[in-house]
Amino acid sequence: TSPFTHGISSGINAEYGEHKHIKSNITPLYNHKMSLSRYSWRVGLCARRNPLVLNKLSTRVFSTQTQKQFTINNTTQEDLNKQRKERPTSPHLSIYAWQITNSLSVVHRGTGIALSVVFIDLALFKLFGSHDILHYIQLVKDLSPAIVLPFLKGAVAFPFIYHTLAGLRHLIWDTGKMLSIVNVYKSGYLLIGATTVLTAIAAFLTL
C-alpha cells in the first residue's frame, strides 16, 4: 500500500469504507475521524496518483502570464440572428390543425389583400390608363362569355362581402362582446352562411 492510502484502508472511517469487518494490520497515522469531503478527497488523491492511471490522466496547465482577458457576454444581436438563421425551426404552420377559427382569419387576411389589390389597380388604371375606367370594366364584361359572368360577379363580390362581415365580427370583438368559444363559433357559422347567401345573390344580380 502506498503512503497515500495509509490511514484510509479498511478500519479507519468504517462508515465510509466498504470493508468494515476486516481488521487490518496497518496502524492509522491518526485516530480522529475525517469528514466525508476530506475522505473523498483522499480517495481521489490516491486514484489520481495511482501509477496505473497516471499516464491516462490529462494535465491542465494554468499560467497567469498567458491567460487572455475574456468577457462574459460579447454576442451581439447580429450574432444571435445569424445563429437563429442556421438553427432549424420547429414546425408551426405544418402541424397547426385547421379549425374554423384560423381558417376564417386566413380568409379575412386574404380578402383584405385582394381588396387592396382591387383598389390599387383601380387607381393605377385611372392614373396610367388611356381610357376612362368604365371602358376597362366594359372590356372585362365583353371578353368573358355569358356563362362566366355570374362567376366573375361572384368572385368580385365575395371579397367585399366576406371582408365586411368578418370585419364586423372583429369590431364586435373589439367592444368585448361574443368572445367565448361558443359565441366565436356561432358568429363564425353565421358569417359563412351570410357570405354564401349574399354572394349567391350578388352573382346573379343585374342592376
Partner 1 sequence: MIPTPIRSVVLQSTRRALLGSITPKIPVRTLSTSTHNNTNTHSKEVAADSKFHNISHRLFHYSSYGLFALLPAGIFLAPNAQFIDLALNALIPIHSHIGLTTVMYDYVYGAARKPAKFLLWIVTILTAVGLYKLNTEDVGISQSIKSLWVTDPKAQKN
Site for partner 1 contains 200 (CB under 8 A): no
- Whichever of 23 and 84 has its CB closer to partner 1, that residue is 84
From the list 41-49, 95-103, 167-175, 188-196, the region that binds partner 1 by CB under 8 A is 167-175
Site string for partner 1, 54-83 (x = CB under 8 A): -----------------------x--xx--
Does position 160 interact with partner 1 (CB under 8 A)? The reply is: yes
**Residue 179 binds to partner 1 (criterion: CB under 8 A):** no
* Contact flags string 106-145 toward partner 1, x per CB under 8 A: ---x--xx-xx--xx-xxxxxx----xxx--xx-xx----
Contact 29, 6 (CB under 8 A): yes
Closer residue to partner 1 (CB): 132 or 196: 132
Q: How many CB atoms lie within 10 A of CB 80?
A: 10
Asked if residue 104 lies in contact with residue 162, where contact means CB atoms within 8 angstroms, the answer is: no
- Contact of 11 with 33, CB cutoff 8 Å: no
Which residues touch 104 (CB under 8 Å, ≥6 apart)? 166, 188, 191, 192
Four-residue CA torsion sign, 152, 154, 158, 160: positive
Q: How far is the CB of 181 from partner 1 (least distance, A)?
A: 21
Secondary structure (DSSP) of 176-203: T-S-SHHHHHHHHHHHHHHHHHHHHHHH
Are 73 and 79 contacting, i.e. CB atoms less than 8 angstroms apart?
A: no
Residues 82-101 that bind partner 1 (CB under 8 A): 84, 92
Which is nearer to partner 1, 40 or 138 (by Cβ)?
A: 138
Work out the number of other CB atoms within 10 angstroms of the CB of residue 96: 9
Query: Which residues contact partner 1 by CB under 8 A?
Result: 77, 80-81, 84, 92, 109, 112-113, 115-116, 119-120, 122-127, 132-134, 137-138, 140-141, 152-153, 156, 160, 164, 167-168, 170-171, 174, 202, 205-207
